[in-house]
A = this chain, B = another copy of it.
Amino acid sequence: MADVAARAGVSLKTVSRVINGEPRVAPATAAAVAQAVRELGFRSNHAAASLASGRGVASIGLLIGAVDDPFYARLASGVEQVARAHRHTVLISSTEEDPELERDAALGLAARQVDGMIMVPCSPDQDYLTPDIAAGLAVVFVDRPPHGLDADCVLSDNRAGAHAGTAQLLAGGYRRIGFVGNDTTVYTSAERLAGFLAAHADVGLAVDEHLISLGPRTVIEAEAATRALLARPDPPQAIFAQNGPMTMGAWRAVHALGAPVGLVGFDDFALADVLEPPVDVVAQDPVELGRQATTLLFDRLADGDRPTRHITLPTHLLTRS
């Protein structure tokens, strides 16, 4: 910047003014500075500017499980929409559902002085963020609640959604229903299993625990798990699948078998309506989850002392069969 000032024959302050588009600079001066900038290939040092001004860098961090999971991708899209309206950049990192990576990525974003952070937690405890929050970092949790600290949070009504989806199968006359999902250390999986069980309890039906398959994380694993259920001597008559990949896997297994097995899934997915048979799903709105979480984040950035808010969004049963 000193070089630019020297070349343009002005002071540092004037260069700074021109670069930042401040008013009250004589047009001729501004032109001279602009030319010097061009000739010297000058790039303002963001780190120095941010240090000197004390201002943030107008960015927020987003921590999701994986960029290539459509649920997270749509959530990220909602975050970007709101962040863009607030003229903030979104820096996305993935945790791969690994607590170590979550911690590294979260602290890494915090160290990078993001103004705030939105995260889908996967570690058993996020109290490692407490010092940063105390030092002014705004954090909002989405899809899953925080553990070890209180913070703003946006969730879907997983339990009610799973309850409604299961109830629909029960109303269809199915009595032996399998559950295919992640293990219950994943908050949403635990909640959806609870809704599944509650729907059975409501009609006084016992659940055969052998029909509950916890663990699969991918389409392929879910397909294998569903196959295993259907191969039992007392197979389920229907499957409730706990998220998009689980539902695709379950549908594949059912489809391959060719037998009439009922299926309801949690989360809508592309082409679910045109499969043969089509798939009924409990749809949540991932874009809206992202939007609301980001709105909470900017609210908190505006007022760090406001009480924490916990929002729960409804789900909708889409009947297609």
Task: Tell me if A73 counts as interface (CB < 8 A to partner B).
Answer: yes
CB <8 Å contact, A255 and B270: no
What is the 8 Å Cβ interface bit string for chain A, positions 117-154, against chain B (1 contact, 0 not)?
00000000000000110110000000000000000000
Query: Range of interface residues on chain A?
Result: 35 or more
Number of copies: 2
Q: Given A47-B50, A111-B46, A274-B252, answer yes or no on A70-B68 (Cβ-Cβ < 8 Å).
A: yes
Interface residues of A in 68-82 (CB under 8 A from B): 68-70, 73-74, 76-77, 80
Interface residues of A in 217-246 (CB under 8 A from B): 219
| A91: chain B residues within 8 A (beta carbon) | 89, 91-92
CB <8 Å contact, A76 and B70: no
CB <8 Å contact, B77 and A66: yes
| A93: chain B residues within 8 A (beta carbon) | 89-90
Q: With A and B bound together, what is the CA distance between A108 and B90 in angstroms? A: 11
A67 is contacted by which of B76, B111, B269 (Cβ under 8 Å)? Answer: B76
Interface centre among A47, A59, A73 (most CB of B within 10 A): A47
Residues of A within 8 A of B (CB): 38, 41-48, 50-51, 57, 59, 66-70, 73-74, 76-77, 80, 89-94, 105, 108-113, 131-132, 134-135, 219, 248, 251-252, 255, 269-271, 274-276
7 contacts between A and B (CB under 8 A): A46-B113, A67-B77, A68-B74, A91-B92, A92-B92, A271-B275, A274-B275
Given contacts A46-B113, A251-B274, 18 further A-B contacts (CB under 8 A): A41-B131, A46-B47, A47-B47, A47-B50, A47-B51, A57-B112, A66-B77, A68-B70, A68-B73, A68-B74, A68-B77, A69-B73, A73-B73, A89-B93, A92-B92, A219-B270, A270-B271, A271-B275
